[in-house]
Structure 1
Amino acid sequence: MPIRRAKPAESLYEEVEDYDLVLVPDAPFASALNRRLDRPQFGHFAIPPRRLAAGRREQAEDRLAFLEVIEQTDHDWKAVAYAIGNVLQCWEHQGSLDAILKYDAYVDETTHEVVDIMRTLRTTSKQLTGYTIDDDQSVAVVGYDQLTNLERSILPDDFDRIDLFTDESFDYPEFHVFESATDIVTALLDTITAHNAEHVAVVLEGSSQYSSLVESALEAADIPFYGGPGFIDDPHHRAFVRLLRIAFRGSETTVGDVQPVLTQMGVDVPIDDHEKRLETVDTPGIEWLQEFCASIEERTFAEVLSTYTNQTGIELPLFDEELQNLGLADDSVTNDGVDRLAYYLQTYEVPVDRDNEGVLLADAKSSAYVDRPVVFHLGMSQDWTHSAPQRPWVDTEQQFGRYIGSFQRLLQSGNQQYYLVQDAAGGEPVTPCLYLGDLLDEEFERFSDLDSVEHSRRPRSNDGGFDREPIGVEPETIETISQSSLNSYVNSPRDYFFSRLVESPDQEHFVEGNLFHDFAEFYVNYPDIIATTDLEELVDVMLGEAEPFFSSADETLRRRTYRIGLEMIVEYLDEHGPESDDFLTPASGWGTNFFAEYFDEPVDSPLTERWFEDSSLGVKGKIDLVKAPDHLLDYKSGSKKRTSQIVKRAAVDPPADTPNFQAALYLTYYRTIHPDESLEFTFFHFLEPMDDVITGEANMEDALTTVSYYPFTFDEYVGSRDAYDVLLDGYNDCEETFEDLGYPAYSDIMDQLAFPKTTDKGELRASEFAEEFTTAVDVGTAEDVDAEKGADQAIRELNGVRKRTFFRDDLDAFESFVDERLEELNRRRAGEERFPVDGLAGEPNYRRINNRDLLLEGESDD
């Protein structure tokens, strides 16, 4: 069916102006008709049934009933709210308070008591049930189908029905499609001013992102509005409830948990402290909060509210009144009590006084008519669709008719209607309100399939979009990038971008990792000091430094972990310490060292914590230890990786789904210091053998992963003596075959063949190279040698070397890769293109995302 054209208020008034009483479905439409009265009127003219029966504006009878029931009974609050909701809904649809009692599945002791108590309350439903309209009045009912059975029960025997709609269809205006909710709100503010605010209404779904965005934008622009934020939306009300909740988290409460409360109090805590436990932080202005959390159960709700208002200087009389209404004010604060309070505030809308001035914000699900000249409809997605009540007392077909009727009227509110929508959000098409599918003859899946105009921020020609305005500031050029930033950028450029904009708090694993690194650096420089110091003393100071991040219950485990980590570092450096005192770089040591400060000794070794930055290569970083002129080492507190994993994660064409370029980047730089030399990079995972240390079976080799770099290509390598020696130290058949073949013959064979680029074992075995190589080896060996098996094992062995080693062409490709990424990065920084969410390998690995709350999973890069 098409969208039926709604009758404007003017024409409806002409139809009903001669009646004594006009009943309408909603208060805004009644007000619109009453404003058009051109004659004196005794009593009511246009009015909704509920307001007629109550003689005043309707009150939230569900909340009033709830307050009465919890005062008179001891039932669980959730059970009370559930029963009240069922009773009122059944009453509305069946016309009788006792109607609920016919549905056994919904009747229990709580329901019986709710019915008995509500029988005594002066609710609007009760007044409606007992109300009758005088027969001597001429009565018109506008939109009879929109009234419920309870509302219809007051109608006299004789009344006239007036349809809300004409027989014509409504030609809806075009949809204005924007790229984001922020763009929609920006467009809205381009139109609304403080001077025209009284003529504008904005229809939106009350719980959507548009609600908070519009309210914040109007407030920032000093444009008055009403109909938006409710009781619990007040920032101090929310902060107070959060304060109550966090007080029961005990010693695990972090500074980040209480940050919203601190913000309302004007207390600024450094972001570095946000991950630390509240009780361990020594920051001015939070002492009272630490004391408060420690003594929460000794206070009443009223005392806690008083403490909050004293600290903020803000009076909260409405919250105080609500605590009194709930009977909680003088109760001791308990976890259950806080849960009940939070549930109540989430379930019921506490009335607040509003100044009815400025822009009217109307909820799309509770409004059917908005009487403003200009009406903006925001979003219009499936969130605008009601969830039909799944109860046996509800006629779902009749209720759907009410919903779709209200929706059609809402679409036509105002002399000018503007539909501002998104076509996609979070990488997925936005589904239009489902009622549109029933009303429009067109086939569509998204708003752009309908009559629409697109508004884009990207520069386009003749499309009505928004052009970028130059700001006259040259962006800073990034000349070098670290391995961690490159990992982040390749995984998700958008996440990398946010990491540059948003400060991150100190975190437990970073603090602990830095302590171990500092110890290793200090030990290389002062082994004698550590040798004469009890390691337990150092464990104590490490625990003290990391204490803000962990519970005292974890101390035993951490103490053991720290001691084993220190012992493993000492053991390794004693056995495999630096073999050279060559000066690596003129740069001094990087940053501070915890143990250097503890022992009051300087640390500035040419072999430890060496910073490098090379703009010609575009790389920078910090080398933990120069173990030898051809060997670098990095300390790792995480789990060990295989050599093949290290090489695989450094791939550039295509990048791995878990990219890690540390070894490739460091070796790329270090080969410029030692050109044409083979190099090694070792990762020392000093906590890897921890379980074996405890059982006395630790092997230092289990903690080490070493990757090699060869200053020649893999193609040059496969025919070399080194490669041949590897085959003699491999599988049995391989060793036997190539001992028999000999190196000269092996070298001649490899000179004639090209090893395939693929590393896939199946593809290698099926390759032409494998066939020719096997044939040549078979010809050059004795009959009693299993040349076929030996050749197969040789191919696997050589391929294994390739997968575990960086060759010259690998790092050459990596250098080009870094150049391409820096060029791309600087284009994006200059605004020539966006920072996409997806990385080069496609969808990012979200476990490696640092700013997850700033990204929408699957967000479109278009």
Structure 2
Amino acid sequence: MPIRRATPVDALYAELRDYDLVVTPDAPLASAINRRLDRPHFGTFATTPRRLAAGRRERAEDRIAFLEAIERTDHDWKAVAYAVGNVLQCWEHRGRLDAVLDYNAYVDDATRDVVEVMRSLRTTSKRLTEYTVDDGRSVAVVGADQLTALERSVLPETCDRIDLFADEAFDHPPFHVFESATDIVGALLDAVTAENAEHVAVVLDGGSRYSSLVESAFEAAGIPFYGGPGFADDPHHRAFVRLLRLGFRGTEATVGDAAPVLAQMGVDVPLADRERRLDAVDRPELAWLRRFRAGIDERTFGEALDAYAAEAGVELPRFDEELRRLGLAGAHVTSEAVDRLAYYLQTYEVPVDRENEGVLLADAKSSAYVDRPVVFHLGMDEAWTHSAPQRPWVDTEAQFERYVGSFQRLLQSGDRQYYLVRDAAGGEPVTPSLYFGDLLDDEFERFSDLDSVEHRRRHRSAGTGLDRTPLDVEPRSDDTISQSSLNSYVNSPRDYLFGRLLDMPDQERFVEGNLFHDFAEFYVNHPDVIAAADIEDLVDAMVAEAEAFFSAADETLRRRTYRIGLDLIAEYLDDEGPESDDFLTPASGWGTNFFAEYFDEPVDSPLTERWFEDEALGVKGKIDLVRSPTALLDYKSGSQKRASQVVGGAAVDPPADAPNFQAALYLTYYRTVRPDERLEFTFFHFLEPVADVVADDADLDDALTTVTYHPVAFSEYVGSREAYERLLDGYNDCRETFEDLGYAAYEELMTSLSFPDTTDKGELRASEFAERFTATVDARTSSDVDAEKGADQAIRELNGLRRRAFFREDLDAFEAFVDERLDELNARRAGKERFPVDGLAGEPNYRRVDNRDLLLEGDR
């Protein structure tokens, strides 16, 4: 069915003006009709059934019933709230207070007690049950089908029914499609001012991010508004509840957990401390919070509120009043009681005094009509669709028709309507409200499938609205990129962008990793100092530096891990450390070193923490250790990777699911330092053997992963003496076959063939190369060997060599890849296109994303 045109209020009033009483389904429509009264009228003219029965001001009867029930019964608060909801809803749809007792599945002791409590309460529903309209008055009912059974019970037997809708269809305005919610709010700000605020309404889902964005934007712009945040949304109310919860978090509570509370007290703690344990950070501004947490069990809720209010410099009389209503003001603070308080605030809307001035913010699921000249509808997505009550006393079909009717009227509110929507979010289409499916004849999946106007963001611009002019500012560009930044950018350009824009708190794994790296650097510079030191003193110093990130229960395990890690690093460097630095130019120290400060000794060896930055290649980084003229080493405290995983992680076409370009980037740079030489890059996973050390069965070689760079193309390498020797050191049949063949014949054969590009074993075995290779080897070897099996093993071994090492074409391709990424990155920095969420391989690997909560938009 099409969207039916709602009868304009002026036309409705013209039809209703001669009646004594007009009953409407919602209060805003009644108020709009009353504002058009052009003659004296005694008593109420237009009103809702509930206001008719209860008076001008309606009270939230669910909250009133709940407060009365928890005072007069001993039932669990959640059970009471559930029962109150069922009783009132059934009463609404069946017209009797005790109608819920007809449904055995919903009857328990709490429900029976709630029914009895509510018999004595003068709720709006009870007044409706008792109220009747004087038969002597002329009564008109507007939209009777929108009324529930209880609301219809007040109507006299004879009354005139006025339809809310005319016979013709409503030709809705186009949907204005924006790229993001912030763009929508920006467009709204361009249109709304403090001067025209009284003429504007904004309809949105009150539980969506639009609500907080609009409220924050209006506050920042000095635009008055009402109908927005409620009692539980007050920043100090929220902070107080969080403070109470913080009292029961124990030693695991972090500074970040307390940050919202501290912010309301005017305390801004350094970002670096956010992930440190609250009890381990010794800052004067945290002293009050630690004292409050330590004595939480000794306080009543009232005393706790007074303490918070005094420290924050505010008065919270409404919260104090609510605590008294709940019987909590004099009760001692316990974890269970805090949970009950939080549940109450999440479940019920506590009345607040509002200044009804400025822009009207209306909730899309509780409003059916807005009487403002200009109405902006924001979002209009699935969140605008009601969840139909799944209860046996609800006529779901009739309820759905009421929802659709309200939705149609809401769409037409105002003299001018503007529908501001998004077409996609998180890379997925935004689904319009399901009611559109019943009201529009067109087939659609997203807003752009309908009559719409697309608004593209104009980057690097100034001005208002969508008419903006470019700023005369030259964008900065990046000449080089590090391996960590490249990993992040390839995985998700937008996550990389936020990583550049936002500071990150210190984290446990980084702090501990840095301590081990500092020890390794210091040991290379001063092995004699470490040899003379007590290892337990060093462990004590490391624990003191990192203890803010772990609980006391973990200290024994940490100490053992630290001690073993230090021993293994020292053992490796004693056995495999560099003997000379004559092959390197001098280099100044890089950054600070924990152990250098601890021992008050410098670290200035050119072998350690060697910084490089090459603008010609576009790469930069820091080499942990130059072990020899052709061997680099990096310390890793994380889990070990095989050589094939290291090489696979550096793939560029397409990139790996978890890209890691460290080895490729460092070798790309270092081959310019040692051109045409075979190079090695080793990862030393020094914590990998910890369990073996405990079992007295450790082998340092098991903690090393080495990848090799061969300064030749793979097609050249496969025919080399080195490759041939690898075949002789492999499987039995392979060794026997190629010993029989001999190197001269092998070299001749590999020179005449072209090894396929694929690394897939199945494709290799089925290739023409495999067929010719096997046939030739078989023909040129004796019958004493299994040439077919030996040739197959040789192909597998050569393919394995390629998967475990870098060759010239691999790093050439990587160089070109870096150039492309830098050009792309700088184009995006210049505003030529957005930084997308998806990386080159598609959807990012979210386990490698640092700013997950900020990745809200898709790549459009």
TM-score range (shorter-chain normalised) is over 0.9
Counterpart CA distance in 1 for 2:37 and 2:275 is 64
Counterpart CA distance in 1 for 2:758 and 2:534 is 54
- What amino acid is aligned across from residue 448 of structure 1 in structure 2? S
Which residue of structure 2 lines up, in the alignment, with residue 471 of structure 1? Answer: 471
What SS does structure 2 have at the residue aligned with 1:330? coil
- What amino acid is aligned across from residue 32 of structure 2 in structure 1? A
Q: CA deviation at 1:465?
A: 10
What SS does structure 2 have at the residue aligned with 1:257? helix
Which residue of structure 2 lines up, in the alignment, with residue 609 of structure 1? Answer: 609
Structure 2 vs 1, CA of residues 467 and 826 (structure 1 numbering), >3 Å: closer, same or farther?
A: farther
Counterpart CA distance in 2 for 1:813 and 1:582 is 32
Counterpart CA distance in 2 for 1:102 and 1:678 is 86
What SS does structure 2 have at the residue aligned with 1:206? coil
Which residue of structure 1 lines up, in the alignment, with residue 65 of structure 2? Answer: 65
> Which one is further off, 268-277 or 167-176?
167-176
Which residue of structure 1 lines up, in the alignment, with residue 631 of structure 2? Answer: 631
Counterpart CA distance in 2 for 1:845 and 1:638 is 18
> Which one is further off, 414-423 or 505-514?
414-423
Counterpart CA distance in 1 for 2:430 and 2:650 is 38
Counterpart CA distance in 1 for 2:132 and 2:669 is 91
Counterpart CA distance in 2 for 1:640 and 1:38 is 83
Counterpart CA distance in 2 for 1:640 and 1:113 is 62
- What amino acid is aligned across from residue 475 of structure 1 in structure 2? P
Counterpart CA distance in 2 for 1:804 and 1:400 is 63
Which residue of structure 2 lines up, in the alignment, with residue 54 of structure 1? Answer: 54
Mapped pair 1:860 → 2:858: yes
Counterpart CA distance in 2 for 1:409 and 1:801 is 70
Which residue of structure 2 lines up, in the alignment, with residue 278 of structure 1? Answer: 278
The answer on whether the counterparts of 2:140 and 2:160 sit within 8 Å (CA) in structure 1 is yes
Mapped pair 1:806 → 2:827: no
> Which one is further off, 464-473 or 744-753?
464-473
- What amino acid is aligned across from residue 87 of structure 1 in structure 2? V
- What amino acid is aligned across from residue 758 of structure 2 in structure 1? T
Q: Give a deviation string over 1:120-175, Cα, whole Å, max 9, x none.
A: 11111111111122222111111111111111112222222122122222111222
Which residue of structure 2 lines up, in the alignment, with residue 761 of structure 1? Answer: 761
Counterpart CA distance in 2 for 1:423 and 1:848 is 27
Which residue of structure 2 lines up, in the alignment, with residue 652 of structure 1? Answer: 652
Counterpart CA distance in 2 for 1:740 and 1:578 is 41
Q: CA deviation at 1:442?
A: 2.1
Mapped pair 1:237 → 2:237: yes
Mapped pair 1:100 → 2:106: no
Counterpart CA distance in 1 for 2:688 and 2:210 is 49
Q: CA deviation at 1:586?
A: 4.0
Counterpart CA distance in 2 for 1:296 and 1:684 is 48
The answer on whether the counterparts of 1:457 and 1:465 sit within 8 Å (CA) in structure 2 is no
Question: 1:160-239 counterparts in 2 under 5 A?
Answer: 160-239=160-239
Counterpart CA distance in 2 for 1:459 and 1:519 is 47
Q: CA deviation at 1:302?
A: 1.0
Which residue of structure 1 lines up, in the alignment, with residue 848 of structure 2? Answer: 848
Counterpart CA distance in 2 for 1:844 and 1:148 is 49
- What amino acid is aligned across from residue 861 of structure 1 in structure 2? D
Which residue of structure 1 lines up, in the alignment, with residue 111 of structure 2? Answer: 111
- What amino acid is aligned across from residue 301 of structure 2 in structure 1? F
Counterpart CA distance in 1 for 2:226 and 2:79 is 33
Q: CA deviation at 1:458?
A: 4.9
Counterpart CA distance in 1 for 2:538 and 2:43 is 86
Mapped pair 1:559 → 2:559: yes
- How many residues of Structure 1 are paired with residues of Structure 2 in the alignment? 857
Q: CA deviation at 1:210?
A: 1.2
Structure 2 vs 1, CA of residues 468 and 630 (structure 1 numbering), >3 Å: closer, same or farther?
A: farther
Which residue of structure 1 lines up, in the alignment, with residue 826 of structure 2? Answer: 826
Counterpart CA distance in 2 for 1:792 and 1:2 is 70
- What amino acid is aligned across from residue 194 of structure 1 in structure 2? A
Counterpart CA distance in 2 for 1:534 and 1:238 is 50
Which residue of structure 2 lines up, in the alignment, with residue 42 of structure 1? Answer: 42
What SS does structure 1 have at the residue aligned with 2:709? strand
Q: Give a deviation string over 1:792-839, Cα, whole Å, max 9, x none.
A: 111111111111111122112211111111111111111112211111
Which residue of structure 2 lines up, in the alignment, with residue 123 of structure 1? Answer: 123
Q: CA deviation at 1:283?
A: 2.1
Q: CA deviation at 1:181?
A: 1.3
Question: 1:203-602 counterparts in 2 under 5 A?
Answer: 203-458=203-458, 466=466, 469-582=469-582, 584-602=584-602
The answer on whether the counterparts of 1:580 and 1:629 sit within 8 Å (CA) in structure 2 is no
The answer on whether the counterparts of 1:583 and 1:607 sit within 8 Å (CA) in structure 2 is no
The answer on whether the counterparts of 1:585 and 1:612 sit within 8 Å (CA) in structure 2 is no
Structure 2 vs 1, CA of residues 70 and 819 (structure 1 numbering), >3 Å: closer, same or farther?
A: same
The answer on whether the counterparts of 1:587 and 1:612 sit within 8 Å (CA) in structure 2 is no
- What amino acid is aligned across from residue 63 of structure 2 in structure 1? R
What SS does structure 2 have at the residue aligned with 1:239? helix
What SS does structure 1 have at the residue aligned with 2:150? helix
Counterpart CA distance in 1 for 2:54 and 2:654 is 71
What SS does structure 1 have at the residue aligned with 2:284? coil
Structure 2: runs of 5 or more not aligned: none
Counterpart CA distance in 2 for 1:477 and 1:411 is 47
Which residue of structure 1 lines up, in the alignment, with residue 642 of structure 2? Answer: 642
Counterpart CA distance in 1 for 2:855 and 2:166 is 47
Q: CA deviation at 1:254?
A: 0.3
Mapped pair 1:618 → 2:618: yes
Counterpart CA distance in 2 for 1:562 and 1:126 is 70
Counterpart CA distance in 1 for 2:446 and 2:590 is 55
Q: CA deviation at 1:512?
A: 0.5
The answer on whether the counterparts of 1:459 and 1:468 sit within 8 Å (CA) in structure 2 is no
Q: CA deviation at 1:585?
A: 4.2
Q: CA deviation at 1:778?
A: 2.0
- What amino acid is aligned across from residue 678 of structure 2 in structure 1? S
- What amino acid is aligned across from residue 387 of structure 1 in structure 2? S
What SS does structure 2 have at the residue aligned with 1:837? coil
TM-score after normalising by structure 2: 0.98
- What amino acid is aligned across from residue 312 of structure 1 in structure 2? A
Structure 2 vs 1, CA of residues 586 and 496 (structure 1 numbering), >3 Å: closer, same or farther?
A: farther
The answer on whether the counterparts of 2:488 and 2:495 sit within 8 Å (CA) in structure 1 is yes
Counterpart CA distance in 2 for 1:11 and 1:468 is 41
Counterpart CA distance in 2 for 1:720 and 1:450 is 65
Q: CA deviation at 1:469?
A: 3.2
> Which one is further off, 197-206 or 450-459?
450-459
Structure 2 vs 1, CA of residues 468 and 16 (structure 1 numbering), >3 Å: closer, same or farther?
A: closer
Q: CA deviation at 1:56?
A: 2.6
> Which one is further off, 584-593 or 605-614?
584-593
Mapped pair 1:685 → 2:685: yes
Counterpart CA distance in 2 for 1:628 and 1:10 is 89
- What amino acid is aligned across from residue 552 of structure 1 in structure 2? A
Q: CA deviation at 1:467?
A: 6.3
Counterpart CA distance in 2 for 1:484 and 1:467 is 39
What SS does structure 2 have at the residue aligned with 1:609? strand
The answer on whether the counterparts of 1:456 and 1:465 sit within 8 Å (CA) in structure 2 is no
Q: CA deviation at 1:441?
A: 2.1
Q: CA deviation at 1:852?
A: 0.9
TM-score after normalising by structure 1: 0.98
The answer on whether the counterparts of 2:202 and 2:375 sit within 8 Å (CA) in structure 1 is yes
CA RMSD of superposed structures (Å)? 1.5
The answer on whether the counterparts of 2:583 and 2:629 sit within 8 Å (CA) in structure 1 is no
Counterpart CA distance in 2 for 1:468 and 1:843 is 33
Counterpart CA distance in 1 for 2:403 and 2:786 is 81
Counterpart CA distance in 2 for 1:100 and 1:70 is 20
Counterpart CA distance in 2 for 1:24 and 1:772 is 88
Counterpart CA distance in 1 for 2:7 and 2:716 is 85
Which residue of structure 2 lines up, in the alignment, with residue 33 of structure 1? Answer: 33
Which residue of structure 2 lines up, in the alignment, with residue 707 of structure 1? Answer: 707
Counterpart CA distance in 1 for 2:443 and 2:760 is 48
> Which one is further off, 181-190 or 70-79?
181-190
What SS does structure 2 have at the residue aligned with 1:573? helix
The answer on whether the counterparts of 1:180 and 1:425 sit within 8 Å (CA) in structure 2 is yes
Mapped pair 1:671 → 2:671: yes
Q: CA deviation at 1:848?
A: 0.4
